Structure 1
Amino acid sequence: MKKNYLPFAALLTGTVLWLACANDPAGTTKAPSAATGSAAVQSGQSAVQDDESRKDVVKTAMVSADHTTLVKALQAAGYVDALSNAGPFTVFAPVNAAFDKLPAGTLAALLKPEKKDDLRNILEYHVYIGVLKPETLTDGQTFGQANGNNISITVKDGKTMVNGASITASVPVSNGIIHVVDAVLLPPEK
């Protein structure tokens, strides 16, 4: 005897839609579109609205007046969603003045679509997968970054530096930690 599950599936689908509409008196639930097969425009983790929890790496940078250039670079590289994910990440975040120290025209060139791979390489050099708390950073350590290259930690006279850039502040975030640095870290030439 063959069983036909089609009527059961239709009933189940109808029940789910009825429950969704019954629990949405304002009528904000949208039916799946034929073109996309989804109920809403797909967004990444950066689109999640949460005003209660500690902010993630990107949301913290976005509210910092000193990191507008970094945010612009993350957007151009398409890394906003990646750094909004659970992590954990350690991000060495150059301030705007650090980008100003680059040779004239360098930043403008890196923000062009045809230089996206170069920009991504530089940004990945600023990211460690894991959490490196300030108290765990000691002189002579090296860490492998997201782009596959290593950074070096130096501690001298109580000042912690990464590849010669001073860490001026450390900010815990929901998905790791941000170490504010006063220079852009440039990966070694390949």
Structure 2
Amino acid sequence: MKKLFYPLMLGLVFAGFSCGKSSIENQTATVAGSAHTPGQSAVVDDDSKPNIVQVAVSSADHSTLVAALKAADYVDALTNVGPFTVFAPTNAAFDALPPGTLDDLVKPENQRKLRDILEYHVLLGAYNPDGFVNGRNLGTADGRSVSVLKAADGSITINGAKIIGTVPASNGIIHVIDQVLLPK
């Protein structure tokens, strides 16, 4: 056993030195210096097509949604590979909620409730508008479901919220909606 142990240890020591001290120090400093390791949202990639969160951040009409994603600690989930379909309410949709609703939801003690509402706006998989089937129920990320209605004129509603725009993203698709979806 000793004959195998010493060469193995010696090999590991030399491998450690060949990797460079600064690399090891950087890794240690990163882990030791941060209480919360950043997730996928911390990755910087200026060459690829933007992901769902990056698209939302770049939209002036979705600043309330972005603030809610941050308050619910749900940004990293939606920057992952996916694919996801996100029903993204506009700022006007959030403004139409009863007074005080949003202020109450973004309180730290209501983070889980807010996250449940946001997950109700997410489907696993990418659904293009032509893939929606009238009367179909689709399972949401929170384990519930939303209902699709397709009108004769081609307009689509999800639980009564009208899809007013569609934006592709690198990890799925965003359907802009005119109402906030609230689970029952």
TM-score, normalised with respect to structure 1? 0.86
1:165 correspondence with 2:161: yes
Q: Greater share of helix residues, 1 or 2? A: 2
The aligned residue for residue 146 of structure 2 is 151
5+ long unaligned stretches in structure 2 = none
Residue in structure 2 matched with residue 140 of structure 1 by the alignment: 135
SS of structure 1 residue aligned to 2:3: coil
The amino acid that maps onto 2:64 is: T
CA distance in 2, matches of 1:34, 1:176: 35
Please tell me the root mean square deviation across aligned C-alpha atoms, in Å: 2.6
Partner of 2:42: 47
| Aligned amino acid, residue 125 of structure 1 | Y
Aligned to 1:24: none
Runs of 4 or more, structure 1, over 6 Å off, are none
Match of 1:98?
93
Quick one: which of 169, 173, 176 aligns to 1:177?
173
C-alpha displacement at 1:29, in angstroms?
Answer: 7.2
The yes-or-no answer on 1:81 pairing with 2:58 is no
Change (3 A) 1:60 1:20: farther
Change in Cα spacing, 1:117 to 1:31, as seen in structure 2 (3 Å) is closer
1:32, 1:38 within 8 Å by CA — same for their partners in 2?
A: no
3-state SS of the aligned residue for 1:33?
helix
Superposed CA deviations along residues 11-63 of structure 1, whole A, max 9, x for unmatched, are 43443453446xxxxx7874443894699x73200011101111111111111
Residue 5 (str. 1) matches residue 1 (str. 2): no
- Cα contact 2:31–2:37 (8 A) shared by 1: no
Give the TM-score normalised by structure 2.
0.88
In structure 2, relative to structure 1, the CA distance for the partners of 1:159 and 1:34 (3 Å cut) is closer
| Other structure's SS at 1:3 match | helix
Structure 1: tracts of 5 or more residues without a match: 22-26
Q: Distance in 2 between matches of 1:184 and 1:106?
A: 11
Q: Indicate the percent of aligned positions where both proteins have the same amino acid.
A: 49
The residue type equivalent to 1:167 in the other structure is I
SS of 1:43's equivalent in the other structure is: coil
Amino acid at match of 2:113: D
